[in-house]
Structure 1
């Protein structure tokens, strides 16, 4: 499972490929990985309201330029830092450009005893199947389930290896404005040929979540499922205080070609947790991909999302209950 391989390395392992190069600097060696992607994208019903002025349905963009640096200074201390400019386009919102090149995440890792790692800084969540950068995911757009999950936040995490391939963790974090505390506990690893991540996330001023991720390979087809159940500490009178979502992933590989598919269903009720129009929504995404080498790709994508209420608007301001996304993206990872 990419979530486990990419984010649960406890800061002492490189986020990128095992074939990442080494930079020689003044005091230690750094492992560097990252990527750059660019493409053309077209979206119907781009407006989020009937009064919105933005009616540009198609655009070119550099969707991601990111650099990850990792150093294992010694057996007890190391760090990971990710710098970049990332467009995180999802099915409910359309983001045309990143805000700028910045530190997206970073943490210092210490290992006081064998099997225990403590990370502190701006953490990436252990929750969810999809990862932070577009080139680390099978699909270009992020799903509705991903949009309802935490992504990165300031905090500290302790991870302990209880058995071969099995980790447990506990963390404390804060939101971007440092106005809300959050706590999380969970376990991640693999049993037989199934990778898993089970997490409980509790934000003191709002949403609580139980999240489960499972993935495996069956005869060359990568399969995954991400399900979460969320509830509010408090909700307005008459509103729901619970929501749930489920995303199914399948990706078939044939030589240099790959066809990833994602199907999602989200039930929001009137809670507003996922931010959809109406009570529920479903989506379908397919992303045919050509990979001429291990670190390059060209992919097309078709995505469709439908809600049970009209929350999208066309160029004339007419309310619609669906949105279609079409795009072509090329990427290079290093």
Structure 2
């Protein structure tokens, strides 16, 4: 896109601040985007805004699996974000492109270094879409879209914590598809036909209905599920979850420096002998996200959550493979994470301490060299700039 703009011969670089915050990518805080992103006068393309993130991450952890890759060692250092966003925000036809390298650290799973994550997950252009503004209330988006599911977003800089949580691990992150959005007053709604867990098959239907009760309270309901069978299986496309349905009830309370976001989650994977899913299984989970601004530069984030699986067991059937959605059939897990954050201008630094525990562990599905350890502690540091 930069080469295309350069070839137009009508580009002038004007570091002009946007009057309003850029709509994408979303920030739930405590990190805040650069309020003065670079704006390019691209002639017939209109005003194009350019922003991005460059950040590094370092970590120490107990009970690493040592199965290969830097994230499975006791300590690691890596790039967490090296991304740029190019977008237009005015006119009837707009676009958004997010490109670069990234890692997606999450609790309870091995850390995948940025080069491997970018290659094995969503590629060097994870999010990109065209947006048609039909009316001020009604828009249509098509392309690589962020999911509507869950209360946490995909990339580290978007969230209260550096790592995503256990509930996030069950959710789709980015999907290819078409989405219709509607917002009027306190009501917002969206519906999407997409490929779920990045399967390449447009067989998922997702929907969201939100209501802002007042300035401090809002609530939303999200539902998504597959409409037909898909046999795709990869790092980005877990077979069982990609043939499931998932639902959220999300509530947000804001009062001055404090934000509380409790949410509930349920998912169901049905039996499908053709896919090798011999037993149906469900997950039930709940989480609380907390954000508190100590002052204009320092803030504190925290997350507590619990996730349980039911079903999926085979009993005495020796030819059956259990349906494993967590740490074995009928396993459960819980976590606690605390993340102090410092930001001054475009620079930020934050630390994180997390604990993940497993109950009803299936042998060979846990942490550690032999995958039989029931808990893991991680200490992380992330620092960088939001330009």
TM-score, normalised on structure 2? 0.75
Larger CA deviation: 171-180 vs 299-308: 171-180
Please name the residue that 2:335 is paired with.
Answer: 283
Instruction: Flag the structure with higher strand content.
Output: 1
Q: Secondary structure at the match of 1:144?
A: coil
Please name the residue that 2:348 is paired with.
Answer: 297
Unpaired stretches in structure 1, ≥5 consecutive residues: 1-11
Evaluate the alpha carbon distance shift between residue 159 and residue 148 of structure 1 in structure 2; reply closer, same or farther with a 3 A threshold.
same
Counterpart Cα distance in 1 of 2:261 and 2:220: 11
Is the contact made by 1:92 and 1:276 (CA closer than 8 Å) also made in structure 2? no
Query: Is 1:102 matched with 2:124?
Result: yes
Q: Secondary structure at the match of 1:147?
A: helix
Query: Is 1:67 matched with 2:118?
Result: no
Evaluate the alpha carbon distance shift between residue 138 and residue 318 of structure 1 in structure 2; reply closer, same or farther with a 3 A threshold.
closer
Q: Which residues in structure 2 correspond to 1:143-162 (within 5 Å)?
A: 143-161=165-183
Is the contact made by 1:284 and 1:305 (CA closer than 8 Å) also made in structure 2? yes
Query: Is 1:128 matched with 2:150?
Result: yes
Please name the residue that 2:384 is paired with.
Answer: 331
Deviations 1:53-79 (A, max 9, x none): 5662211111111211111352x1111
In the TM superposition, what is the alpha-carbon distance from 1:126 to its structure 2 partner? 1.6
Deviations 1:195-231 (A, max 9, x none): 3331110112321111122212235221111211111
Is the contact made by 2:161 and 2:337 (CA closer than 8 Å) also made in structure 1? yes
Larger CA deviation: 33-42 vs 238-247: 238-247
Is the contact made by 2:340 and 2:352 (CA closer than 8 Å) also made in structure 1? yes
Query: Is 1:267 matched with 2:298?
Result: no
Is the contact made by 1:300 and 1:328 (CA closer than 8 Å) also made in structure 2? yes
In the TM superposition, what is the alpha-carbon distance from 1:249 to its structure 2 partner? 1.0
Counterpart Cα distance in 2 of 1:96 and 1:203: 27
Is the contact made by 1:65 and 1:86 (CA closer than 8 Å) also made in structure 2? yes
Please name the residue that 1:87 is paired with.
Answer: 103
Instruction: Flag the structure with higher helix content.
Output: 2
Unpaired stretches in structure 2, ≥5 consecutive residues: 1-21, 27-32, 230-242, 313-322
Counterpart Cα distance in 2 of 1:77 and 1:46: 48
Larger CA deviation: 118-127 vs 28-37: 28-37
The structure 2 residue matched to 1:174, chosen from 171, 191, 195, is 195
Please name the residue that 2:49 is paired with.
Answer: 31
Q: Size of the alignment, in residue pairs?
A: 316
Is the contact made by 1:20 and 1:31 (CA closer than 8 Å) also made in structure 2? yes
Superposed CA RMSD in Å reads 2.4
Counterpart Cα distance in 2 of 1:194 and 1:82: 31
In the TM superposition, what is the alpha-carbon distance from 1:189 to its structure 2 partner? 4.6
**Greater relative contact order (Cα 8 A, min sep 6): structure 1 or 2?**
1
Please name the residue that 1:56 is paired with.
Answer: 73
Q: Secondary structure at the match of 1:326?
A: strand
Please name the residue that 2:283 is paired with.
Answer: 243
Please name the residue that 2:259 is paired with.
Answer: 222
TM-score, normalised on structure 1? 0.86
Q: Secondary structure at the match of 1:135?
A: helix
